[in-house]
Structure 1
Amino acid sequence: MSLYEKILSKEEKVSVVGLGYVGMPLAVAFAKKVDVIGFDLNKSKIELYKSGVDPTNEVGSEAIKNTMVDFTFDESKLKEAKFHIVAVPTPINSDKTPDLSPVEGASSIIGRNLTRGSIVVYESTVYPGVTEDICIPILEKESGLKCGVDFKIGYSPERINPGDKVHRLENIIKIVSGIDEESLKEIAKLYELIIEAGVHRASSIKVAEAAKVVENSQRDINIAFMNELAMVFDRMGIDTKEVIDAMNTKWNALKFYPGLVGGHCIGVDPYYFVYEAERLGYHSQIVLSGRKINDGMGKFVADAIIKKLILANKIVKQSKVIILGITFKENTPDTRNSKVIDIIKSLKEYGIEPIVVDPEANALEAKQEYGMDIVNIKDVKDADCIVFAVAHDTFINMELEQIDSLFGSFDNKEKVIIDVKGILNKSEIERKGYDYWNL
């Protein structure tokens, strides 16, 4: 009987190591079909899951309450599983080099609890070669077992889009790979249990690793192009959004827009590609240039805010600036690697202490990561400038009267509205006399 058949008959279990925005939806999905152990080092997170709370909002608290996942922070429970999925984050260091410590730590934990006949699949984003050159040696050292003989390994890059209620885990094609044909077959069949869109079998682990960093690097470059256009059009006095809307009438337009590029994928993965390319003696030109442009957009927006405040006859240092949104993207509580922070840092250099409002954000996470307190919008008044930094539905649906109530009692021409995502009705706002700017 194959491992897949044993898991299907519940003679063996699946474990998911790392229960964040990627791991937790995986664990819940698999638990509808097979026995699942959900492991995370964060005890408070495990307690939340056990109490039926979903802090990520990815599957919802109701799904967490009803799931059969065995949530634990006890690593010895992993001995009960034969199929391990690693879904820990892979961030970057301050010098933009890959920080592999989470995936190395997860490999050590699994290695200490690995049994013969197991399969370990990595979903964490890495540069080509990490799974085989870094993870396998750790697993072998900690377990005393031999890869390819006592256990198998594979790679299946995560493609979850946080906050996206349309493109979900189940309906996104899953790339799978294995160290040999046998492991590839087992891995593919197991993922086919939960992936309705089906799987794509990559020819090797390195191909699967490369596909992940390339797909996000491609998006990064396309957005960088639009950001560069936005900076130039700003000097020309041309509305970038209007240009793009006109361009998008052509059938083969790519429909990218300018914006802040953060998060744990697009804002990080290109650096993994660049790191490995440079290690092999090639200096990236296009990918690195795209990253440089996108990393500078926070300062560009902040400079636009300062310029608008000056033109509105405001005393910059005394101006009250309200930032609406601190998460890295819309409709998600995830604040990791948010580029809104770059706007805030730049404004602070001018003596401005922005007030942050975000009903979607994880307030505790924002406080721990950035030392940032999130204010309730009901407590906001007397603003000089409102910055729509994130396109949460709650902000998109705000009426102009509600926006106006956040300002002080002065003429509309002195009320500055900064629309980073282009979500507001520009013509209506300008008709009312507000000082409006969009990226």
Structure 2
Amino acid sequence: MSLYERIVKGNEKVALVGLGYVGMPIAVAFAKKVKVIGFDLNATKIELYKQGFDPTNEIGQEGIKNTTVEFTSDETKLKEAKFIIVAVPTPVNSDHTPDLTPVIGASKLIGRNLAKDSIVVYESTVYPGCTEDICIPILEKESGLKCGVDFKVGYSPERINPGDKVHRLENIHKIVSGMDSETLEEIKNVYDLVIEVGTYPVSNIKTAEAVKVVENSQRDINIAFMNELAMVFDRMGIDTNEVVDGMNTKWNALGFRPGLVGGHCIGVDPYYFTYEAEKLGYHSQIVLNGRIVNDSMGAYVADAAVRQMIAAGQAPKNSKVVVLGLTFKENCPDTRNSKVDDIIKQLRTYEINPVVIDPWADKKDAMNEYGIELKTMEDAKNADCIIVAVAHDEFKSLSLSDINKMFRESNDKGKVLIDVKGLYKIEDLEKTDINWWRL
């Protein structure tokens, strides 16, 4: 009887290592079909899940309360599982090299508790070759078992889009790979339990790893192109969003727009690709330059805000600047690698300490990650400059009249609005007395 069949019959369990924005949805989805152990090192997070609270907002409180996932921070529970999925983060260091600390730590932990005849599947984004060159030797060393004989390994890159309620785990095609054809078949069968639209097998693990870094690098490059256009059009006095609206009337337009590119995927994955390319003696000409452009956009927005404040007659360091949004994307509590922080850092070089407001972000995360004390909308009153950085529904619902009321009433200087997300129409902005700028 195959491992897949034993899992379906309830004789074996699936385990998830890492219960964040990626791991939690996978665990809950599998728990609707089979027995699942959900492991995370963060005991506080595990207690929240046990209490039915979902800090990621990916599943929701009811989904967590009703799931049969066995939540634990006890690594020895992994010995009960034969199919182990690794969904830990893979960030980059300050020098933009891959930070493999989480995936190495997870590999050591799994290795210490690895049962014979198990399959370990990595979902964490890594450069091509990492699973076989880095992870497998760790599993072997910690377990004393031999890969290919005592246990098998595969790779299936995560494609979950945090905050997206349309493109969910179940309806996104999933890439699957294995170290051999037998392992691939087992992995495909297990994932097909929860992937309603089906899985897409590729020939080897390296190819699957490459798919992940390339699909996000492609998006990064396209957005970098639009960001570069935005910087040029700004000098030309042309509104980029209007150009894009016109361009999108053509059937083959790609629909990308300028913006801040952060988060745990697009803002990180290209560096995994260029890192391995550099090791092989190839210096990226396109991917790396796309990253450089996108990494510069936070500072560019802040500089634009300062220019607008000066043009409006303000003394920027004496102005009250309000930044609406901190998370890396709209309607999502994930603050990881948020490029809004780059706006804030650049403002501080002008001796501006902005008021930052984000109803989605966790206050502790904001303080721990960025040293930012989040405020409430009440604190937005008497603003001189407002930067709408993230298109949360709460901010999209603000009319220009609402925005106007947030400015200082007795302001004898001009009001400044920086519309990073292009939420307001030019014709509406021009009817106000606000000095505005759109990316």
| Superposed displacement of residue 325, structure 1 | 0.2
Instruction: Give, in whole Å, the separation in 2 of the partners of 1:147 and 1:328.
Output: 38
Amino acid of the structure 2 residue aligned with 1:104:
I
| Cα shift at 1:363 | 1.6
Residue 171 of structure 2 corresponds to 171
Do 1:412 and 1:432's aligned partners in 2 also have CA atoms closer than 8 Å? no
Residue in structure 2 matched with residue 297 of structure 1 by the alignment? 297
- Alignment deviations for residues 6-27 of structure 1 (CA, whole Å, 9 cap, x no partner): 1001100000000000000000
Query: 1:76-133 deviations in whole A, cap 9, x for unaligned?
Result: 0000000000000000011100011100100000000001110000000000000111
Aligned residue runs from structure 1 range 332-347, under 5 A: 332-347=332-347
Equivalent in the alignment of 2:124: 124
- Residue 5 of structure 2 aligns to a residue whose secondary structure is helix
In the alignment, the residues of structure 1 paired with residue 207 and residue 125 of structure 2 have an alpha-carbon distance, to the nearest angstrom, of 13
CA distance in 1, matches of 2:47, 2:14: 20
Amino acid across the alignment from 2:133: D
Report the Cα distance in structure 1 between the residues aligned to 2:412 and 2:398, rounded to whole angstroms: 17
State the AA in 2 paired with 1:241.
N
Give, in angstroms, the shift of residue 412 of structure 1.
9.3
Amino acid at match of 2:416: V
What is the aligned partner in structure 1 of residue 369 from structure 2? 369
Partner of 2:407: 407
Q: Secondary structure at the match of 1:184?
A: helix
Deviations 1:164-219 (A, max 9, x none): 11111110000000001111001001100101111000110000000000000000
Q: Distance in 2 between matches of 1:29 and 1:201?
A: 20
Match of 1:175, SS state, is: strand
Is the 2:112–2:142 contact (alpha carbons within 8 Å) kept by the matching residues of 1?
yes
Contact 1:412 1:434 in 2 (8 A): no
Q: Does 1:90 align with 2:96?
A: no
Q: What is the letter of the counterpart of residue 140 of structure 2?
A: E
Aligned to 1:15: 15
Secondary structure of the 1:119 match is: strand
1:222–1:412 Cα change, 3 Å: farther
Cα distance, 1:400 vs structure 2: 2.3
Taking a change above 3 Å as real, the CA distance of residues 337 and 374 of structure 1, as seen in their structure-2 partners, is same
Contact kept in structure 1, 2:314 and 2:413, CA below 8 Å: no
Q: After superposition, what is the alpha-carbon deviation per residue over 1:293-327, rounded to whole angstroms, capped at 9, x for unaligned?
A: 00000111011000000011001110100000000
Q: Which amino acid aligns with 1:388?
A: V
Q: Residue in 2 aligned with 1:188?
A: 188
Q: Take 2:109 and 2:171, find their aligned partners in 1: how far apart are those partners?
A: 31
Distance 1:379 1:409 in 2: 15
In structure 2, distance between residues paired with 1:175 and 1:2: 21
Of 364-373 and 79-88, deviating more is: 364-373
Contact residue 355 and residue 379 of structure 2 kept, 8 A = no
Residue 272 of structure 1 corresponds to 272
Note if contact 1:426-1:436 (Cα within 8 Å) is conserved in structure 2. no
| 2:140 aligned partner | 140
Q: Deviations over 1:199-253 (max 9, x none)?
A: 0001100000000000000000000000000000000000000001001100000
C-alpha displacement of 1:414: 1.0
Equivalent residue for 1:31? Answer: 31
In 1, Cα distance between the equivalents of 2:288 and 2:63? 41
* Match in the other structure for 2:154: 154
Where 2:406 maps in the other structure, the secondary structure is: coil
Across the aligned residues of Structure 1 and Structure 2, the Cα RMSD in angstroms comes to 0.9
Match for 1:240: what amino acid? Answer: T
Matches of 1:412 and 1:132 in 2, distance apart?
64
Question: Residue in 2 aligned with 1:223?
Answer: 223
Would you say the 8 A contact 1:111–1:138 is kept in 2? yes
What does residue 424 of structure 2 align with? 424
**Partner Cα separation in structure 2 for residue 251 and residue 420 of structure 1:** 26
Q: Is the deviation greater in 69-78 or in 393-402? A: 393-402
Cα separation, 1, equivalents of 2:174 and 2:395:
33
Contact conserved, 2:220 with 2:261, CA < 8 A, in 1?
yes
AA matched with 2:121: V
Offset at 1:380?
Answer: 2.0
CA positional deviation for 1:135 = 0.5
Q: Secondary structure at the match of 1:257?
A: coil
**In the alignment, what sits opposite 2:115?**
115
Normalised to the residue count of structure 2, the TM-score between the two structures is: 0.99
- CA distance in structure 1 between the partners assigned to 2:433 and 2:425 by the alignment: 13
AA aligned opposite 1:59: I
Where 2:360 maps in the other structure, the secondary structure is coil
1:410 is displaced (CA, Å) by: 4.3
Q: What amino acid maps onto 1:46 in structure 2?
A: I
Contact kept? 1:328, 1:335, Cα under 8 Å:
yes
User: Between Structure 1 and Structure 2, how many residues are aligned?
Assistant: 439
Q: Deviations over 1:48-92 (max 9, x none)?
A: 101000001011111000000000000000000000000000000
AA paired with 2:293?
Answer: I
Q: Percent identity?
A: 69
**Partners of 2:435 and 2:345 in 1: CA distance:** 23
Tell whether the 8 Å contact from 1:117 to 1:150 is kept in structure 2 after alignment.
yes
Q: What SS does structure 1 have at the residue aligned with 2:430?
A: helix
Q: For 2:53 and 2:248, how far apart are their aligned partners in 1? A: 41
Are the aligned partners of 1:412 and 1:435 in contact in 2 as well (CA < 8 Å)? no
Q: Which amino acid aligns with 2:183?
A: S
Whole-angstrom distance in 2 between the partners of 1:136 and 1:82: 16
Verify the 8 A CA contact 1:163 1:330 in the aligned structure 2. Answer: yes
SS of the residue corresponding to residue 233 of structure 2 reads: helix
- Asked whether the 8 Å contact 2:313–2:413 carries over to 1, the reply is no
Deviations, residues 265-299 of structure 1 (Å, cap 9, x unaligned): 00000000000000000000100110110000011
